Amino acid sequence: MNLNPPAFNSFQNDGLTLAYFDEGDPSGPPVLLIHGFASSATVNWVHTGWLKTLGDAGYRVIALDNRGHGASEKPHDPAVYHPDMMAGDAVALLDHLGIPSAHIMGYSMGARISAFLAISDPERVLSLVFGGLGIGMCDGVGDWDPIAEALLAPSLADVTHARGRMFRAFAEQTKSDRFALAACISTSRDLVSREDIAKIEAPTLVAVGSKDDIAGSGEALAVLMPNAKALDIPNRDHMLATGDRVFKAGVVDFYAGLSN
C-alpha cells in the first residue's frame, strides 16, 4: 500500500493560507475530507489508507489541512477557530476547485466542522460521514480544558492528566504548533443544537468506535436526523477507529448505496 503523502497546493481564505491535496480519479465523484483536532490531512487520511481506499473506489479525494494544523497557517488567536469559520474554509476550497457539491467526510473535530458546513451550505453537501463523533456533537464531549493545559505545559513530563498526555504526545509526534492547537481547542467545540442537526437532510453515516469514550453514541445522533444511520466500529477507541477496515468498508458501501 502506497501511503506516501501526495503533493499539496494552497489557497487563501479569511486572510489565511491553507494547504490541501486533490488526488484520486479526477473524473470521479468528489469526496472532501476534514481531519480531526491535532491531526492533519496526511496523518488522518493518507497514513491510515483512506486516500488509497477512496481513490481505488473511483473517487476524487480532496483533503485540507485545517487552519492551525499541518501545512496551513497557524494563528494563535482563539477567536479564529470556531467550527463555522473552519467550515467556511472547506466551502472556500470547493469554490477554489470549482466543485459545486461533494461528499463531505469528517473525523472528530472534522465531523463537527462538517455538520456546521451542512447547516450553513446544504446545497454543497451530497452526503455526510461523521466519524468519531456521535451525540457529543450536540451534548459535548467532556472537559477538554486539561488538554489545552497539557499543550501549553513546558514538557510532556509535566502533564499528569491522562487524556491531556495522549493529545500532547500526539501533537509532539505530528510536530504540531502546540500554541495554535491550544487556541483551537478553546473555541472549536461549539455545539450543534438538536434542532439544527435535525434539519440536515443529506444522507449521513455516523461511525463511532465501540470503545470510544469521547464521541458519545453514534446511534443517539443518527436518530435525531431524518436520513442518517449509525455504524459501530468494533473494539476501537477514538484514535484506533480512524483507519479501521470496518469503517472504510462501511463508508465505501454507504457511497455505493447512494448511487443505486
The reported pLDDT for the residue numbered 145 is 85
Taking alpha carbons only, the member of 67, 176, 175, 147 closest to residue 113 is: 67
The answer to the question of residue 237 being in a domain is: yes
Helix, strand or coil, per DSSP, at residue 176: coil
pLDDT averaged per 10 residues, the chain (length 260): 77 98 97 96 96 97 98 97 98 98 98 98 98 97 86 94 90 91 94 97 98 96 98 96 98 91
The answer to the question of residue 186 being in a domain is: no
Enter the pTM of the model: 0.96
What total number of domains does the chain contain? 1
pLDDT per position as a tens digit, 99-139: 999 999 999 999 999 999 999 999 999 999 999 999 999 99
Q: What are phi and psi of 35, to 5 degrees?
A: -80, 175
The answer to the question of residue 157 being in a domain is: no
Boundaries of domain holding 93? 9-140+192-259
Residues 189 and 211: their CA atoms lie apart, in Å, by: 21
Compute how many other C-beta atoms are within 10 angstroms of the C-beta atom of residue 188.
22
The answer to the question of residue 119 being in a domain is: yes
The CATH number of whichever domain residue 110 belongs to comes to 3.40.50.1820
Whether 41 and 64 have beta carbons less than 8 Å apart is answered as yes
The answer to the question of residue 198 being in a domain is: yes
DSSP 8-state assignment for residue 109: H
The answer to the question of residue 185 being in a domain is: no
**Partner residues linked to 115 by β-bridges:** none
The answer to the question of residue 254 being in a domain is: yes
The answer to the question of residue 183 being in a domain is: no
- C-alpha cell of 76? 494563535
**Partner residues linked to 34 by β-bridges:** 64, 106
For 221-248, b where at least 16 C-beta lie within 10 A, e where not — what string?
bbebbeebbbbbbeebbbbebbbbebbb
Taking alpha carbons only, the member of 229, 225, 230 closest to residue 194 is: 225
